[in-house]
Amino acid sequence: MKDYPWYEVVCGEDDLMQGDFIKDCPVLIPPLEISNSIEVKIINYDVVIMSQSCDLVQRKLDLVLVCPVWSLNEFEKRGDFFKSKKGKEALRQGNVPGYHLLNRCKIDGFETEYLVVDFRSVYSVPFDFIVELARKRDKRLRLLPPYREHLSQAFARFFMRVGLPVNIPPFK
Amino acid sequence: MYQLTMQDIAYQDYPIQYFSSSSAALEEINIMDVRDNLLSIWMRKRPKELFYHSLIPLLEIDLSSIRPHFEIKNETSLSEGMLEMAVSEDMLEFDIVVRMPPKKEWSARLKVKSVEKATPHIVDPEGL
């Protein structure tokens, strides 16, 4: 069977695409009120790009959608459910909306553990800013098809959920 | 001609091909060929039989008349065990929220240059 790698390494100057990982991406959190002089909070995340590649390549976006990425190890420490085999399995099978598991990367110099993408914390970063940041960060990891489309589909599934105010009671 | 036998082939779904030769006479067929042929047919049939056996509990079968009646059972007649099998734990969703802190957090003081009302950025659709 043909080998279908999960990741590849691309250069900093390469066009940004969906599934590109950017390390230490700063996100500005504005204060509650805007005046002439404000204090903003800046938070850094390792992120994966969620915007569609065609929109990015054709520069049809002013803002690029990114989601934070965590190693499964870090994630487990914050969520007891994911310490269990059951929790990890649920994550692997795509049964935990809001989170998506990605495989380990074994590329030399870019090794990662299993990664968890957090769809609940979506940020938008100005296009020019993230292009410049990617260039400065130099080589970066890129998620490859069909895993990239799988990630995008999981995001869509999470986003399109409908919570019913009154559900049909379960059948006993 | 060298003929394949069951000993030559390990795959159970791979049927043994028997070559018909014009020179093949009845006396040339030996007992080993017959055994291999039967074994090959049996190995091909067996998985199918198992498959059909697994469907039997899903059917209502009436063999009392000369016209046997087969019908798929409705869901109320399916046993609880089968339903449990169908709705396995794999199909359940876990709506869990994990609040992860950022990797790094600091603050900066900014001087606001201007505050403007945003204008739409219209992207021309392609192919229209």
pLDDT digits (tens, 9 = 90+) for B92-123: 788 889 999 999 999 999 998 888 888 777 78
Residue A45 has pLDDT above 90, yes or no: yes
The ipTM is: 0.73
Residue A169 has pLDDT above 80, yes or no: yes
Could you tell me if residue A144 is inside a domain? yes
Could you tell me if residue A96 is inside a domain? yes
Nearest CA in chain B to A89: B90
Residue A1 confidence (pLDDT): 58
pTM over 0.90: no
Could you tell me if residue A89 is inside a domain? yes
Residue A13 has pLDDT above 70, yes or no: yes
Residue A85 confidence (pLDDT): 94
Residue B117 confidence (pLDDT): 87
Q: Tell me the one-letter amino acid at B21.
A: S
β-bridge partners, B104? A44
Residue B82 confidence (pLDDT): 58
Could you tell me if residue A1 is inside a domain? no
Rounded to a whole number of angstroms, the distance from the CA of B53 to the nearest CA of chain A is: 30
Residue B74 confidence (pLDDT): 61
Percent of the residues in chain B that have a pLDDT greater than 90, as a whole number: 8
Residue A76 confidence (pLDDT): 92
Residue B124 confidence (pLDDT): 79
Do the chains contact at B95 and A45, CB–CB below 8 Å?
Answer: no
Could you tell me if residue A2 is inside a domain? no
Say if residues A101 and A72 touch (Cβ distance below 8 Å): yes
Q: What is the arithmetic mean of pLDDT over A104-110? A: 96
Do the chains contact at B108 and A42, CB–CB below 8 Å?
Answer: yes
Could you tell me if residue A168 is inside a domain? no
From chain A, pick out residues whose CB is under 8 angstroms from the CB of B107: 39-42
Could you tell me if residue A60 is inside a domain? yes
Q: How confident is the model at residue B49 (pLDDT cuts 50, 70, 90)?
A: low
Q: How confident is the model at residue B68 (pLDDT cuts 50, 70, 90)?
A: confident
pLDDT in tens, B2-46: 554 444 444 444 444 444 444 444 445 566 676 677 776 666 655
Helices (H) and strands (E) in chain B, counts: 2, 3
Token pair for residue A26? 């700063």
Q: What is the arithmetic mean of pLDDT over A53-81? A: 94
Percent of the residues in chain A that have a pLDDT greater than 70, as a whole number: 99
Q: Give the DSSP H or E segment for A156.
A: helix A147-159
Residue B54 has pLDDT above 60, yes or no: no
- Return the CATH number at A131: 2.30.30.110
3 state SS of B17? coil
3 state SS of A79? coil
Whole domain around residue A131: which residue ranges?
Answer: 7-32+39-159
pLDDT in tens, A51-65: 999 999 999 999 999
Say if residues A26 and B103 touch (Cβ distance below 8 Å): no
Name the domain count of chain A. 1
Rounded to a whole number of angstroms, the distance from the CA of A22 to the nearest CA of chain B is: 13
Could you tell me if residue A171 is inside a domain? no
